[in-house]
Amino acid sequence: MPARSTDSLLQIEESLHSSLKKGHHSASLSDRLISANKRILLQHIEFRPAAATSSAQLEKLKSKYASINPSTSLTDHVKPSKGMSPFNPPSASDLAHDDDLPDPKVVLYPPEKVKLQWPAVRRIGAGLTNLGNTCFLNSVLQCLTYTPPLVNYLSSSEHAHTCKQVGFCMVCELQRHFRRCYENGGQAIKPHAILQKIKLIAKHMHWGRQEDAHEFLRYVIDAMQKSCLNGNTKLDRISKETTVINQIFGGFLRSQVVCLKCKAKSNTYDPFLDISVDVKNVPNIQKAFEKFVQPEQLDLDNAYNCTKCKQKVAAQKRFTIHKPSNVLTIQLKRYGVMGGKVTRHISFPEKLNIRPYMSVSQGAAITYQLYAVLVHMGHSTNSGHYYCYVRSSNQAWYCMNDSMVQQTSQGRVLNSEAYMLFYIRCDAAANHEQPKVCPFHV
């Protein structure tokens, strides 16, 4: 205790003693005590830091109380899940600094309900008549018609029973289309119904004009996703990614930035419904994925603003597949922004293991089997001709070229000039990796 406080206490003691000795009036005693007390209370007291802390005492206190404002160094690991209630979407920064992908608060479609295999062998379906530059649409529809989990889902009346869409619904539309295809095997049908709604699927697309098949597929999947949200637009970002469409086609990518100065890591997770890979100067799809996960240097004009270093620093950014999808759709970026096309054959395997391109690259193989290949012939995506190869439920390959349906060999499929590849997960762990959360019935 500082010396001056001790002096004041002595003064009080002295005043008390002298008052009692000299037989002063009690009022006088109280006045003198008040003034002595004031001297203590109004004086400036200096504290010195202790030479050593009592760690045992501190540990005891730590176990007794919960910290309400932990230091910033802990927040990367122990982040309270604020803003994660279904009706309070998280901010981007909430997700960016979490150490792992947050679980959805609400699951719209339970992942374990997704059926990846054909329940029975079906006859190959119908061909699709070209209604004037509609081969892009025909090829995309044919690839979807042989996507087992999507067909399995639409074979049941599950969607029809819960559909709340007024007017156009992409899922209902596709369900009708699939039924017509499978009921008319050996013939060609006209995909009029979908073509008439092309502007509702993608408002900039026109009937009669050749469009980019990959772009059209994106719009079809997005339109289905919108139908499956069934008005649940106020859900948080992660919960919105749990519709049947996400459970079939969707996964998560992780973008990790590592500050080269302080080594701090910042993770951002983004949902994907397909993956576009650069195929310039690569011989095969595996090399394209290696390129996809290759770290990128952020420096100079592109320097990273590190929140820990509080300055622009050199950093390394790397994409990895964080949560694999059940169906993996890959677009081969054959077309440059400035024109030009990679026309070389880029080989792709019948079985693809994506484990090396995952955030956790060690572990059991994550294997996919090829089930459809979309081919483009021509110089740009808006011209030329599209057709596709699909694997039917009896495992035989068919070439679907507009109205023509012809059985073919796997060798021919693997030698094709692919623009899009469709793989389906086939390892034993498929369907067991998604978080198990009670379904939210809507």
Site string for Zn ion, 119-158 (x = CB under 5 A): ----------------------------------------
Q: What region does 311 belong to: left with phi over 0, alpha with psi -120 to 50, or beta?
A: beta
Decide: 337 and 378 in contact? Cβ < 8 Å.
Answer: no
Q: Which one of 309, 377, 396, 426 is in contact with Zn ion (CB under 5 A)?
A: 309
Residue 426 as a binder of Zn ion (CB under 5 A): the answer is: no
Q: How far apart, in whole angstroms, are the C-alpha atoms of residue 177 and residue 150? A: 12
> What are residue 398's DSSP bridge partners?
390, 407
CB of 159 to Zn ion, least distance (A): 6
From the centroid of its chain, how far is CA 400? Answer: 32
Residue 189 as a binder of Zn ion (CB under 5 A): the answer is: no
CB of 165 to Zn ion, least distance (A): 5
Decide: 137 and 145 in contact? Cβ < 8 Å.
Answer: no
Residue 262 as a binder of Zn ion (CB under 5 A): the answer is: yes
Active site residue 385: yes
Output 224 or 321, the one with its CB closest to Zn ion.
224
Output 28 or 302, the one with its CB closest to Zn ion.
302
> What are residue 369's DSSP bridge partners?
351, 424
Distances (CA, A) of 239 to 50, 115, 233, 329: 51, 21, 10, 22
CB of 417 to Zn ion, least distance (A): 36
CB of 433 to Zn ion, least distance (A): 28
From the centroid of its chain, how far is CA 371? Answer: 24
Among 135, 259, 306, 399, the one annotated catalytic: 135
Residue 429 as a binder of Zn ion (CB under 5 A): the answer is: no
Residue 163 as a binder of Zn ion (CB under 5 A): the answer is: yes
Residue 442 as a binder of Zn ion (CB under 5 A): the answer is: no
Residues 2 to 41: which contact Zn ion by CB under 5 A? none
State the amino acid at position 435 in one-letter form.
P
Give the containing element (helix H, strand E) for 418.
strand 418-425
CA dihedral (272, 278, 279, 283) positive or negative: negative
CB of 230 to Zn ion, least distance (A): 9
Output 307 or 369, the one with its CB closest to Zn ion.
307
Tokens, residue 287: 């090399």
Do β-strands 188-189 and 127-128 pair in parallel, antiparallel, or remain unpaired? parallel
Q: Which one of 122, 218, 226, 308 is in contact with Zn ion (CB under 5 A)?
A: 308
Q: Which one of 261, 291, 341, 355 is in contact with Zn ion (CB under 5 A)?
A: 261
Among 24, 172, 309, 385, the one annotated catalytic: 385
Residue 95 as a binder of Zn ion (CB under 5 A): the answer is: no
Instruction: Please choose, out of 30-38, 45-53, 261-269, 318-326, the segment that lies near Zn ion by the rule CB under 5 A.
Output: 261-269
Instruction: Please choose, out of 162-170, 278-286, 352-360, 423-431, the segment that lies near Zn ion by the rule CB under 5 A.
Output: 162-170
CB of 147 to Zn ion, least distance (A): 17
Q: Which one of 275, 306, 375, 418 is in contact with Zn ion (CB under 5 A)?
A: 306
Total H helices, total E strands in the chain:
15, 16
From the centroid of its chain, how far is CA 252? Answer: 3
Instruction: Please choose, out of 127-135, 161-169, 246-254, 425-433, the segment that lies near Zn ion by the rule CB under 5 A.
Output: 161-169
294 Cβ neighbours under 8 A, 6+ residues apart: 318
Residue 293 as a binder of Zn ion (CB under 5 A): the answer is: no
Q: Which one of 16, 40, 172, 414 is in contact with Zn ion (CB under 5 A)?
A: 172
In a 10 Å sphere around its CB, with 0-12 CB exposed, 13-18 middle and 19+ buried, how is residue 177 labelled?
A: buried
Tokens, residue 46: 């200096």
Nearest in space to 369 (alpha carbons), one of 357, 358, 356, 353: 353
Residue with tokens 């694997």: 391
Tokens, residue 97: 């600094």
Q: Which one of 171, 373, 399, 400 is in contact with Zn ion (CB under 5 A)?
A: 171
Number of residues that bind Zn ion (CB under 5 A): 12
Return the active site residues.
Answer: 135, 385
Contact footprint for Zn ion (CB under 5 A): 163, 165, 169, 171-172, 259, 261-262, 264, 306, 308-309
